[in-house]
Amino acid sequence: MRPIVLADAVLVDPASGREGRGAVLLRDGLIADVAFGAAPEPPEGAERVDCAGLVVAPGLVDMRAFVGEPGAEHRETLRSASEAAAAGGVTTLVSMPDTNPVVDDPAIVDFLLRRARDTSLVHIHPAAAITKGLAGREMTELGLLREAGAVAFSDGEHPVASASVMRRALTYARDMDALLMPHLALPDLVGQGVMNEGELASRLGLAGIPREAETIMLERDMRLVRLTGARYHAAMISCADSVEIIRRAKEQGLPVTCGVSVNNLALNENDVGDYRTFCRLSPPLRHEDDRQAVIEALASGLIDVIVSDHNPQDVETKRLPFAEAANGAVGLETLLSASLRLVHDERIGLPALLAALSASPARILGLPAGRLAPGAPADLIVLDIDEPYVLDKRDLRSRSKNSPFDEARLAGRARRTIVGGRIVFDREAAPAARAA
């Protein structure tokens, strides 16, 4: 593997906040040197990539992506998810456990790791289930799953409704310094709801999901964290009340972090429009006031992470009446572009945004990614933050095409993606895939 020099770039290190013109030398899968200012002479035999003033930054770390393998390969495979991730500038992703079979056994964790090594272009780390079969009744063998390679624990889209089960899981997780990142949706309050509860849902004749379905469970979990002292990551918050709950928990010194879906940052309930099923999501798209609250929380650093919440669904589960369609949207390829709307609107600076997309999730997961520094993994993106385009779902590399940003005007995307010192995606050399 030849050394690579990324020259004449704007370097952004989200871990330190440093930004400036310079060059990066990659050797043997690692960042060998970072030179701000004048670039040193490249070593003999190195491949020089002229970035022409584009941004070079650590690749994105996505903490929440559903990958259909095993059991739902028609929706997504490890290979197709990795191709979508590479095209979107994601170099590391955490796969959710709600597969078939469920990732609740060490053998399945081992299978996923081996399969990813054989087929994936990017790093894929499995999250294992908190409860057996995602049923919410009996805790999994957290210790054995962690030893097998699970980086965190979640029940995917299935909330842990039982407070006693969650307390027990947090207690065990504390003793092994494991991370729990549950989905927040109290089933009794979600009921038959399909979108945000409010005037718009009433006018559309759709059953609503109140914010309290999220906040009651989040408030419960904060009290259990205070009781147990375990590390806790709220996978996705979506409303102003949840922001205040997280604020209080952090002020009390609890070991709590949280994430937000890029969908809840970029869209609101009005995007449901004429019953657009690509916008049926969990958590649902909220009122504009809630969207503004989570943007402000992200800009202030209260929200730690942005996730894609990549959840591919095929036409058989989306081409249905809104109330009957499945939750979920693909997001690996649009995570970066949709997030950059906040930079273009001057709501957040580029280093802070990239920190929420790379450095912060890597820190929370205990991974060495997210740093532009010597010795860090050579997982990088070359990014044009201003390149305009209109998204055509047929160009998506995911096996499913259910993007809420279909036909949206976006600006900014990865030109090249490098994983382990190898260029795994080059936009100029790899034309977009098109499918009917």
pLDDT the model gives residue 431: 61
- CATH number of the domain at 160, please: 3.20.20.140
Give the number of domains in the chain: 1
pLDDT the model gives residue 42: 79
Angle, CA 294 vertex, CA 260 and CA 57 arms, to 5° = 55
In a domain, 283, yes or no: yes
Whether the Cβ atoms of residue 64 and residue 262 lie closer than 8 Å to each other: no
What residues act catalytically?
309
pLDDT the model gives residue 432: 57
In a domain, 287, yes or no: yes
Helix (H) / strand (E) element for 195: namely strand 195-196
Q: How far apart are CA 412 and CA 58, in angstroms?
A: 16
In a domain, 4, yes or no: no
In a domain, 244, yes or no: yes
Q: Mark the ranges of the chain whose per-residue pLDDT is less than 50.
A: 435-436
Nearest Cα neighbor of 303 from 263, 343, 257, 337 is 257
In a domain, 50, yes or no: no
* Burial class of 46 by CB neighbour count within 10 A (0 to 12, 13 to 18, 19+): middle
In a domain, 332, yes or no: yes
Q: 317 lies in which domain range?
A: 58-365
In a domain, 235, yes or no: yes
Torsion angle, CA of 316/318/319/323, rounded to 10 degrees?
A: 120
Nearest Cα neighbor of 404 from 224, 256, 220, 270 is 270
Nearest Cα neighbor of 355 from 257, 232, 244 is 257
Q: What is the pTM of this model?
A: 0.96
Q: Give the 3-state secondary structure of residue 121.
A: coil
Query: What tens digit of pLDDT does each residue of 23-82 get?
Result: 999 999 999 999 998 776 778 888 999 999 999 999 999 999 999 999 999 999 999 999
In a domain, 395, yes or no: no
Return the bridge partners of 403, or none: none
pLDDT the model gives residue 284: 98
